[in-house]
Chains A and B, each alone.
Chain A
Amino acid sequence: MKNVMIAFTLFVMMIVGIFLSSNYINRSCTHLQNLNSTLESYIIKEKYQDAYNLSLNYINEWNKTSKFLTLYTHHEDLDYIDTEVLKLTQYIKMKDRSEGLATVHVLKHHINHIKYHEKVSLSNIF
């Protein structure tokens, strides 16, 4: 009976943990997506200084978030974003509009991918 209780408690704790973590991942991804949209609009409007400052801010935000995400997400997914973020700062610095926009778009896709993986959906189950 003790084992039943331990197994049940572990399972409940795990479910609560998953629920809280999924919420955190969703919130973090939404925040990063907002930053991506702002970055995109800065690049479109050619406000490169603002875009550069924001991209540095983005790196800081990403470093903080990715520390936590490594617990749940396949590290390869995070590595892609690490690389793209670093590229982005340099594209913006060099005022490369097309590469900058393309990188932001890729970032958006990768962040969406992480968020989508946490979703309880039929396509994720099967």
Chain B
Amino acid sequence: MFILVIRTFFLYFAVIFIMRMMGKKQIGQLEPFELVIALMISDLATYPMEDIRIPLIHAIIPIITLLFLQVATSYIEIKSEKARRILTGNPSILIKNGKIDIAELRYQRFNINDLLEELRLKGYFNLSDIQYAILETSGELSILPKTGQSNATKDDLNITITQESLPVPLIMDGNINYKNLELLKKDESWLNNILKRNKIDLANDLFIGMLDSNNKFYYQLKEGKDNIK
């Protein structure tokens, strides 16, 4: 029985390692060949996990081979346009210049209800609001609304703004993040001054303390210390 636990541990970390090697895209939007590989890996890892008669190597070898194939395929896709077209296909334009391309819709086996549903999910209830709708290779629908229907931006409204920066967490669960302090070219005494200004005795009292995108110090005290400031 204990062997099952050890084997599961081993396979779990092996699969995590392999998935990490395959890149971040694997977790989110999967291309067709990536989906196939993800399904295969999960299946390959399960059998030896539950059957101790199967040597672990019988799962590891195909998993490493799949990793190699996935990485090699992705690499070839980066290098060759033709390979990219064959392996992941091309995005399909379902609505072009405000008009549904019925032939393309049929070719993609996408019925009108699917299209309307996808549009609704994207927040567009009227077909007349859409200028372009493109079915991406990952199966996602991207939409370009008609100019009059798109959201007004700050540029449209001529509002002068300063560029926001990335928020930087400085204290997490009471621990000072020295790496981020270094990134801001600040030191601990600078942080202590900020804490003093906010009437906080110790960094350890904070659940989170960060410089937000407007360079303001935002913090929340740990449970039982105080309320959110």
Listed in ascending order, the chain A residues whose CB lies under 8 Å from chain B are 3-4, 6-8, 10-11, 14, 18, 70-76
In whole angstroms, what is the CA distance A70 to B48 when docked? 13
- Interface of B, secondary structure class, is helix
Q: Is B23 an interface residue (CB 8 A)?
A: yes
A-B contacts, 6 listed (Cβ < 8 Å): A6-B21, A8-B71, A71-B55, A71-B57, A74-B55, A74-B58
In whole angstroms, what is the CA distance A3 to B73 when docked? 13
Listed in ascending order, the chain B residues whose CB lies under 8 Å from chain A are 21-23, 52-55, 57-58, 61, 64-65, 67-68, 70-72, 75
Q: Quick one: closest B residue to A5, CB to CB?
A: B71
With A3-B21, A6-B21 given, is the CB distance from A70 to B75 under 8 Å?
Answer: no
- Interface of A, secondary structure class, is helix
Q: Is A7 within 8 A of B52, CB to CB?
A: no
- In the assembled complex, how far is the CB of residue A114 from the closest CB belonging to chain B, in whole angstroms? 12
In whole angstroms, what is the CA distance A11 to B35 when docked? 21
In whole angstroms, what is the CA distance A111 to B22 when docked? 39
> Contacts of B68 on A, CB cut-off 8 Å?
7-8, 10-11
Q: Is A3 within 8 A of B64, CB to CB?
A: no
